Amino acid sequence: MQISILKEIQLNENRVALSPDMVKKWVGQGVEIFVEKSAGLKSGFSDESYKSVGAHICQSAKEAYNKADIVLKVQKPTSDEIDLIPEKVTIIANFNHDFDDKYIAQLTTKALNVFALERVPRITRAQTMDILSSQSNLAGYRAVIVGVQAMSRVLPMMMTAAGTVMPAKVLVIGAGVAGLQAIATAKRLGAVVSAFDVRPVAKEQVESLGAKFIEVDESESAETAGGYAKEMSDEYKAKQAALLKEALKKSNLVITTALIPGRPAPKIITKDMVDEMPLQSVIIDMAAEKGGNCELTKSDSTVVHKGVKILGPTNLASELSDNASLLFAKNISSFLELMVSQEEGSVKFNPNKDDEIIKATCFMRDGKLQTLKESPK
């Protein structure tokens, strides 16, 4: 079996799909690994580090694709990249729930097998494959650091001979993996932290980290069977907006993380809410890639509105590419183990079509589109 690792070409993407330690593992099982030249440089992995564990270095993307039975990527291949992929190859990557008709038609012409890692279900057996959790954890940490850099004040209380500096107030909207890490990081840096989430079950997690939970008094279920947040009713949104408006008036740093798989990001912070925020306060909108949680957010840009900075970074995990690539590599390697078997002393591509993880992530088999749901269940 032959696996190719490609250099990521999307803007601001510094990660690589497989690290040298994971390459060593698969080479040890008899798999041939081909790595495009310089694929790991932005993650701190030299070509020599791959060669030293048995990988072959390819001088171009075309060469790497032509060697592959399986292609491993961080981000989905672009349309130009698909043109380079031979027929009947298997692609494993993060497609970010982005399946437009034109793109799918292009994949179909190549009779490809395509597996979308963002669709790994949230079950115990799949935890080691969960790229959303591993990457969101790092992104939540990075969001706080970026926010602190953009602020004009410190987070912790400081007592000096010249007077006392009061701690900053941080509000985190969305207490999933990224939100919880943001809460923990802001608390470690000395801020007073509050958090909001549509799922009442998040209250205990938020409070265990020392933050105050902002709660809407509502019996409506706020999550899918798979543990993801879902779209709420207009009545709920009105109650939520009233509570958040008051919280925003007191916040120096706001981090928003609310996303619904396969849908545009819910608009939670309106222009009117920003109007009443303190001067020099900062919003880090982690949902910018899907349109943003703030009405004023612009992807990969900083907007200043009445003295409030709104930042819309779209790939925070990639800014920590060393750690992010190591975790992603372990995720994708664990997933790959489901798809191979040992036959006659060698590794063969043999995915179990009845495995619930395989079924959830496979959206194309031999060029035929599989059933797609709005979100993993």
Distance, CA of 193 to CA of 79 (rounded, Å): 43
* Residues acting as catalytic residues: 122, 127, 130, 133, 228
Give the residue from 45, 47, 27, 28 showing the smallest Cα distance to 37: 47
> Dihedral sign, CA of 279, 285, 288, 293?
negative
Contacting residues for 22 by C-beta, under 8 A, at least 6 apart: 329, 330, 332, 333
In degrees and rounded to multiples of 5, residue 331 shows phi and psi of: -60, -50
Q: With contact defined as beta carbons under 8 Å apart, do 296 and 327 qualify?
A: no
Q: With contact defined as beta carbons under 8 Å apart, do 257 and 140 qualify?
A: yes
Distance, CA of 193 to CA of 114 (rounded, Å): 41
Q: With contact defined as beta carbons under 8 Å apart, do 248 and 171 qualify?
A: yes
Contacting residues for 116 by C-beta, under 8 A, at least 6 apart: 76, 93, 94, 95, 97, 361, 363
User: What number of residues does the chain have?
Assistant: 377
Q: With contact defined as beta carbons under 8 Å apart, do 313 and 284 qualify?
A: yes
Give the number of C-alpha atoms closer than 13 A to the C-alpha of residue 215, restricted to the C-beta side. 15
Query: What is the four-CA torsion angle of 298, 373, 4, 107, rounded to 10 degrees?
Result: -90
Tokens representing 141 are 């940490």
Contacting residues for 362 by C-beta, under 8 A, at least 6 apart: 113, 114, 115, 351, 370
Inter-axis angle of helices 131-150 and 177-188, nearest 10: 40
In degrees and rounded to multiples of 5, residue 290 shows phi and psi of: -105, 25
CB atoms within 10 A of CB 268: 22
